[in-house]
Amino acid sequence: MYSLIEKATIYAKQIDTVISGSNIMVDDALQHRLERLFVVFRKIEALVAKEAKKSLKRSLWKLFQLLTCIDMRLSCVDSSRYVGEFRRLRHSDVRKLEMIAQRTLAAGVISWTGARVDGEVMVVRYIEADSSQQSSEDNSLSRDYTEVIRGLSTVQASHPHVVQLYGLRTGPPEACFSAFRAGTHDVFDFLRRSAENDEGVRARRCLLTSYKILDASWYLKHVHNLAWIPGNVLPDNARVVTVDDAGEPQIGLFDDIVDGQRWERGIQDNLNCHWKGF
């Protein structure tokens, strides 16, 4: 089409030169034919220009459709990677490490284990169901606690020393799990091992850690009307607070954040935790 319009333009210019006063002698019949041919070439040029505009519109429409399709595909990919604001995980994303704690329910066992997820050490919580037992209530309570932590894991609602949800795998209880940003070391073991030969250093670390834990507990009560009750569901000898490799504590990992109406009990359990451990 480009070649056609180019040739039509050349012929039209040549004819225009011939019939518009050159020294070449042209009889009336030939001049009439040249004028008609000139008009034909002009119409061809106009037609080609019109078709070119249509072709441009079609190309722009196809480009718009392509961009829309790409945007939809990107949205689908994004949705497949996230559950709301949190990562959608698969079993292949998780490399289990050491077992941290377990809680026995009528329908099975809830386990907390250290894990490496997306290159970061976290804690994974999952259920090992007992097929011989049926207790939808226990499973419902287990799922509900993940929802509690989900509400505490946004930028606005989170606290540096309260456990945060990173991602989860949805599905039936025996297949789903949750990954939390939390340390994997027991706070008391960590403090006993640190600065063993310097009582002054160890005392300062214990006091600083205690302040951080109390601040997190106070934050839960006065911002979210929730109470942290250490040891709420685990045996007396189980871990109640974990710390990361830098010694930073996180509370709330072990199903121990409850409604704020139980705050009075939480106060006593908080104090018992500090007296026994520190």
Query: Where along the chain do its domains lie?
Result: 2-83, 89-278
Strand, coil or helix: 179: strand
Q: Write down the pLDDT at residue 89.
A: 92
Single-letter residue type at 50: K
- pLDDT tens-digit profile of 61-86? 677 667 776 666 666 555 567 888 89
Residues 250, 140 contacting (CB under 8 angstroms)? no
> In the block, which residue shows the tokens 């949705």?
79
| pLDDT (tens digit per residue) in 154-173 | 999 999 999 999 999 987 77
> pLDDT band at 9, cuts 50/70/90?
low
Domain boundaries 89-278, corresponding CATH code = 1.10.510.10
